[in-house]
Amino acid sequence: MGTVFSAAPCHPGFVHRSEPATVCFFDECDKDSVALVGGKCASLGELIAAGVRVPPGFALTTHGSTRFLEEAGIRSEIDGLLEGLGHDDLDRLEAASRSIREMIESRPMSIELEDLIAEAYRKLSVRCYMPAAPVAVRSSATAEDLPGASFAGQQDTYLWIRGIDDVMLHVRRCISSLYTARAIAYRIRMGFAHHEVAISVGVQKMANSFTAGVMFTLDPATGDRSVIVIDSNFGFGESVVSGEVTPDHFVVNKVTLDILERTISTKEVCYTVDLRAQKSVAMPVPAERQNIQSILDDEITELAWMAKKIEKHYGRPMDIEWAIDKNLPAGGNVFILQARPETIWSNKQKACATSGATSAMDYIVSSLITGKRVS
């Protein structure tokens, strides 16, 4: 089954003049679209505009999700359950979350709203040249991926969803994930009023990943901005993001793109698609592959080059999720799935360079002294 990502323009009929759009494609969004499609989808649109290779997709906008809650008649009930909660009252938080999520996930959407989402999914499948294209359904909150607050991971993501019925189910689950106990508590603790944080839902073509992971345009352990750090494992990136495995670890010089450090870990589990069940599952990595490097050196170089491009575009250190599609040829198979501001070191003073040949200039000078070619 081939995976082809078309750059065909989206249908203009999804944007209405009289009110905010209910559904829009990523290539209609940019960094100024956060209020409409949340931080994650706005960032994906911005990456596409910047020429970064991103799997296509669309978003049910914050207007669309709010419309669903209003049509379902549960907004006032949600407000009542949230009233007076404290961020450290775990029992009440869990009880409120459970009640709210059950309400949201059990309510049907209006026929008009379902039709808009179904038509967008059909058009996405046509763009990808495959029926019922497998997608990731991701929440995208308006307060997510802010430089001053780490809302990333507060809501849910579902991988390898196929068919409109499953898409609709997981769209509702993503909307309900705005009200996980963890998300409610975090908003209370950070001083965000619940009604100020709206949620969009991104529906993005799945890359059928041979390898995936995360990378930072600085060293997350030291704040060193002269390097790019890449973590990888076989399959989808969920095993890396969730911390279920110790991934392969690479440190790349940001100027020369030379690999300065490589640590190949024992990777015992990965997430991949069960083709019979058509869903994402955790599978053991065969023993003969567990200690094999999960990503080629050329792919490391391409990822580092893409990371530099993304950091330059945003003008700040970035936290990036990526995947390498097994169905596409080299040169067009490396995709960026998310990019958000790095939040740990970004607001601190620039870290001092550590001793030894660790900064970009130190590395170049030491290479010249030892006669190593720098390219």
Instruction: Tell the residue number behind the tokens 């990378």, with chain if given.
Output: 215
State which amino acid sits at residue 366. S
- Kindly state whether residues 218 and 341 are assigned to the same domain: yes
Helices 75-82 and 62-71, packing angle to 10 deg: 100
* CA–centroid distance for 46 within its chain: 13
| Contact criterion met (CB below 8 Å) for 142 and 41 | no
The whole-number pLDDT of residue 100 equals 97
DSSP assignment of 285-346, as one string? PPGGGTTS-SS-HHHHHHHHHHHHHHHHHHTS-EEEEEEEETTS-TTS-EEEEEEEE--SST
Residues 256 and 115 placed together within one structural domain of the fold: no
Which of 55, 46, 56 is closest to 312 using CA atoms? 46
Task: Give me the pLDDT at residue 8, please.
Answer: 39
pLDDT the model gives residue 18? 56
Number of domains in the chain: 2
CA gap 48, 56 in Å, rounded: 9
CA nearest to 210, candidates 278, 293, 127? 293
- Backbone φ and ψ for 282, nearest 5 degrees, come out as -85, 130
Per-residue pLDDT of the chain (375 residues; tens, 9 = 90+): 444 444 334 443 444 445 789 999 999 999 999 999 999 999 999 999 999 999 999 999 999 999 999 999 999 999 999 999 998 899 999 999 999 999 999 999 999 999 999 999 999 999 999 999 999 999 998 865 444 455 544 567 899 999 999 999 999 999 999 999 998 998 899 888 888 888 999 999 999 999 999 999 999 999 999 999 999 999 999 999 999 999 999 999 999 999 999 999 999 999 999 988 889 999 999 999 999 999 999 999 999 999 999 999 999 999 999 999 999 998 899 999 999 999 787 666 544 444 444 556 565 555 554 454 544
The angle, 0 to 180 degrees and rounded to 10, between the axes of the packed helices 75-82 and 90-106 is: 170
For residues 257 and 182, membership in a common domain is answered with no
Give domain status of residue 13, yes or no: no
Which ranges of 201-296 does DSSP label H, i.e. alpha helix? 238-241
Contact present, 184 and 98 (Cβ < 8 Å): no
CATH number for the domain that contains residue 170: 3.30.1490.20
Q: Percentages helix, strand, coil for the chain, rounded to the nearest 5?
A: 40, 25, 40
One domain for residues 53 and 147: yes
Boundary-marking domain end, from 205, 238, 266: 205
What number of other Cβ atoms are within 10 A of residue 333's Cβ? 21
Q: According to the model, what pLDDT value does residue 1 have?
A: 45
Asked if 193 and 245 sit in the same domain, the reply is: no
Task: Let me know whether 29 and 50 are in one domain.
Answer: yes
Asked if residue 24 is part of any domain, the answer here is yes
Residues 262, 138, single domain; the answer is no
315 falls within a domain:
yes
CATH code, domain carrying 228: 3.30.470.20
C-alpha 161, offset from chain centre:
15
Q: What is the radius of gyration, based on Cα positions, of the chain?
A: 21
DSSP classification of residue 336: E
- Do 213 and 178 share a structural domain? no
- Tokens at residue 359, please? 């900064």
Q: Which residues fall within 8 angstroms of residue 216, CB to CB, at 6 or more apart?
A: 228, 229, 317, 318, 319, 320, 342
pLDDT at 25: 98
Residue among 310, 309, 300, 308 at smallest CA distance from 330? 300
Are residues 167 and 72 both part of a single domain? yes
Residue 3 is assigned to a structural domain of this protein = no
CA 6 to chain centre: 20
Q: How is residue 317 annotated by DSSP?
A: -
Q: Which domain holds residue 324?
A: 209-370
Residues 342 and 195 in one domain: no
- Assigned domain for 31 exists: yes
In a domain, 220, yes or no: yes
